[in-house]
Amino acid sequence: MFAGTPPFPRLLLLTALLGGPAVADDLFIDNQDLPQVLTATRLKQSPAAVPGSMTVLDSELIRASGARDIPELLRLVPGMMIGYGAGNQPTVNYHGSNVSEARRMQVLIDGRSVYRAGLATVDWSDIPVALEDIERIEVFRGPNTVSYGANALMAVVNILTRNPADSHGTRLKLTRGADGINDYYASQGFGWDSGDLRLSLSGQQDDGFDQDQLGRDYRDSRRLNRINVSASHMLAANQTLEWQLAAKEGSNQRPYTYQPVFPFVTQTGNDADVNAKDYAASVRWNIDFNPEHSLYVQGAAQHFDRQQVWRACDAALSFSPELTRLWQLNSNYAEQVARNIRNPPGNSDPTLQGLRDQVKNQWDNLGGSNVVCGDVDQSTRETRYDLEIQDTLSLTDNLRLLTGANVRYDKADSQTYFNGTLDDQTWRLFGQFEWRVDEHWILQGGAMFEDSRLSGNSLTPRVALNYLITPRHGLRAVYSEAVRSPDMFENNVNWSYTVRNLAPYQPGLGSGQYFVKTRGPGDLDQERMRSRELGYNGSFSDLNVDVKVFYDEISGMISEPLRNNQYIASNSNKARFSGSEAQLDWRPTQRDRLRLTYAYVDTWASNLNDSSNTARNSGSAGWMRDWGAGWSSALFYYGDDTLNGYRFERVDLRLAKRLRIQGSTLELAALWQQRLDDEPITLPQNRYDSRQRLSVSAELEF
């Protein structure tokens, strides 16, 4: 029965089926309220009835983990791969994908997507929400285009913030620690007869990694400040209005990485730090017509602004129109000519040979070999407007129907990446049904039709059959299809560098365009996934278990790294992911909570970029305990065997003491992190001087 099954999920399954008398007694008795999750289908469901696998990170777990940001917190989700391009550039992928870009996962804050459609990424270190404002994070582990549209190809992370009604009073928190950790949080909440409001201010600062693989200082520190306002108004007995405002500003260091194309040019220039400003607003109107019928309308607007100006040096020949023309005709040959300019290779094509001779003459006789330096503006701005309406109706006691529509407008502005402005408009129609055939069987289905002006249209279905042994224990079989639309950068990039303020001055050359230019194909198809899953979810009196096996296939993958001079996008790649996952959450006593996760992922990809960020074995283990008298502790282990070729193992210990002082609560906490390996994180340049890190925090509530 268990042949070929990795040992950890086998152990969890045996525990669930062959547990002690208390577990057995509870198996067919439903005497507790069922927990509810929302993210899977947009319908409130018990975990046993969900058409897929879910992980919920609640507020208790978030606090106990001691995590400073969402990527570190997601190490608690089975199958989630956490990597780093630099200390301020975390990447998060479910099961695996390109090591430096996270293109295939949807991320929401209270229903508002923070996935950047322009540059195909999520800025995890810049998400404008503080962990202290988060009530829980629901992660749907699998494709969910049916519910959330393209980009929900492999998983959905839904960040749900605290209700303002639960945030009354004042809350202050300071955190200090090694590697320049300097965080703060402050919030004030209050209410009135018909509403509640919370205002929070927060910020983070750290130095990133200490050194690169050559022992040099590594410029990857970050600094950010955030402000959030969240409010809820009771308009009538059956109507509420919720609105949020968020703003964030900060800066992320970037090391100088430009490598001159022409030989004999000394590498000089300044660092390309990024200054970021984000703004977001959303409003949601909820109407409950009766217990069987509800509707909401939600609108959102957000703006991402990344300012990045840096100075680089290269030969004046870099701006030659003839070399640019040579690049457009044959980029490989143009690069050979540039890199071997003192003795460039010939070419049998007379047009190419003629351009080659002109370029060589410019180098030898017209000042092309002179070194010039100038300013490169790599700034980007992205704007999104989003409007959605959703209707939920119980047609009978056994049949629920959800329908909705969404329209979204995206605009990206970058002189470097798009030679100006590019925009897109997307329409969606979606529907879900849940039919309880009898007390044991649930049939669920849904579909999403989506049409993008730049990417075309798609129709993605999902069908699932759940068998409820009891209302708290269910088996599931799920088949779903999903797509990911090529983003603006991948499909429509118009990448070139305009270099300004060139010095020393060259006659007729105050500014110029670098000869390397990259154009998107403009006709990329959507990536398409087919997913199969078998699973079990069970909630005993003190134990929750979820186990699944999966087989996912992705075709038409766009796998090329987003780099100028190396980016030739295509749909020529494919990948397969198969394996098993398990998670266990157990409260053996009123004071203890144990949590285990494990993922076994076997991957194959036609492009190594798509398998490099997959660990075959990964997981976490946690023990949280309330010792009484205000003392509490949390011990966590995180590990994966090979993420981009590097092992990762770390133990975190958090010790906290809560004190009551004249009606106020003060919590003092210390977090000790100990690496059990001595390897870099994801990339060879990501290294710390020490395998230990200590941070302390003080939090006051009154």
3-state secondary structure 53-105: CEEEEEHHHHHHHCCCCHHHHHHHCCCEEEEECCCCCEEEEECCCCCCCCCCE
Domain membership of residue 512 (yes or no) is no
Domain membership of residue 14 (yes or no) is no
Helices 331-339 and 350-365: crossing angle in degrees, nearest 10, is: 30
% of residues, the chain, pLDDT over 70: 93
**Binning pLDDT at 50, 70 and 90, where does residue 656 land?**
very high
Query: How many structural domains are present in the chain?
Result: 1
Residues 6+ apart with CB under 8 A from 146: 430, 432, 446, 447, 448, 460, 461, 462, 480, 482
Domain membership of residue 495 (yes or no) is no
The better pLDDT of the pair 267, 85 is held by 85
3-class SS of residue 413: strand
CA 203 to chain centre: 20
**Binning pLDDT at 50, 70 and 90, where does residue 516 land?**
confident
For residue 388, what pLDDT is reported? 97
Angstrom distance (rounded) from CA 651 to CA 624: 14
Angstrom distance (rounded) from CA 81 to CA 100: 12
Alpha helices in 212-319 (DSSP H): none
**Binning pLDDT at 50, 70 and 90, where does residue 102 land?**
low
Domain membership of residue 24 (yes or no) is no
Domain membership of residue 519 (yes or no) is no
Q: What is the mean pLDDT of residues 326-351?
A: 91
Q: Each residue of 565-621: pLDDT tens digit?
A: 666 788 999 999 999 999 999 999 999 999 999 999 999 999 887 888 889 999 999
For residue 268, what pLDDT is reported? 65
For residue 100, what pLDDT is reported? 56
The dihedral sign for the CA sequence 656, 187, 234, 385 = negative
For residue 306, what pLDDT is reported? 93
Q: Is 81:613 a contact under the CB 8 Å cutoff? A: yes
CA angle 115, 119, 124 (to 5 degrees): 45
Domain membership of residue 351 (yes or no) is no
Q: What is the mean pLDDT of residues 308-335?
A: 89
Q: Each residue of 521-557: pLDDT tens digit?
A: 888 999 999 999 999 999 998 999 999 999 999 999 9
Least confident of 473-487, 501-515, 578-592: 501-515
For residue 312, what pLDDT is reported? 83
Helices 321-329 and 350-365: crossing angle in degrees, nearest 10, is: 150
Report whether pLDDT(503) > 80: yes
Q: Which residue, among 565, 415, 546, has the nearest Cα to 472 in the 3D structure?
A: 546
Q: Each residue of 617-653: pLDDT tens digit?
A: 999 999 999 999 999 999 999 999 988 889 999 999 9
Report whether pLDDT(30) > 50: no
CA 566 to chain centre: 24
Burial of 587 per CB tally in 10 Å (0-12, 13-18, 19+): middle
Tokens 């010939």, located at residue: 346
The secondary element (H helix, E strand) that includes residue 470 is: strand 456-470
For residue 35, what pLDDT is reported? 79
For residue 496, what pLDDT is reported? 87
Domain membership of residue 623 (yes or no) is yes
**Binning pLDDT at 50, 70 and 90, where does residue 505 land?**
low
For residue 27, what pLDDT is reported? 43
**Binning pLDDT at 50, 70 and 90, where does residue 8 land?**
very low
Q: Average per-residue pLDDT in the chain?
A: 89
Kindly report the number of other CB atoms within 10 A of residue 570's CB atom.
13
For residue 262, what pLDDT is reported? 85
Q: What is the mean pLDDT of residues 374-388?
A: 93
Domain membership of residue 462 (yes or no) is yes
Kindly report the number of other CB atoms within 10 A of residue 5's CB atom.
16
Peptide bond into 521 cis (omega under 30): no
First to last CA, the chain: 56
Q: What is the mean pLDDT of residues 343-351?
A: 92
Q: Each residue of 425-447: pLDDT tens digit?
A: 999 999 999 999 999 999 999 99
Q: What is the mean pLDDT of residues 387-403?
A: 96
CATH code (residue 171): 2.40.170.20
Q: Each residue of 173-199: pLDDT tens digit?
A: 999 999 999 999 999 999 999 999 999
For residue 11, what pLDDT is reported? 39
Residues 6+ apart with CB under 8 A from 696: 175, 176, 177, 668, 669, 670, 671
Beta pairing, strands 105-109 & 155-161: parallel
Q: Is 52:140 a contact under the CB 8 Å cutoff? A: yes
Q: What is the mean pLDDT of residues 40-57?
A: 93
Domain ranges, residue 636 = 47-255+274-307+379-486+525-701
For residue 193, what pLDDT is reported? 93
For residue 23, what pLDDT is reported? 41
Least confident of 58-62, 509-513, 643-647, 668-672: 509-513
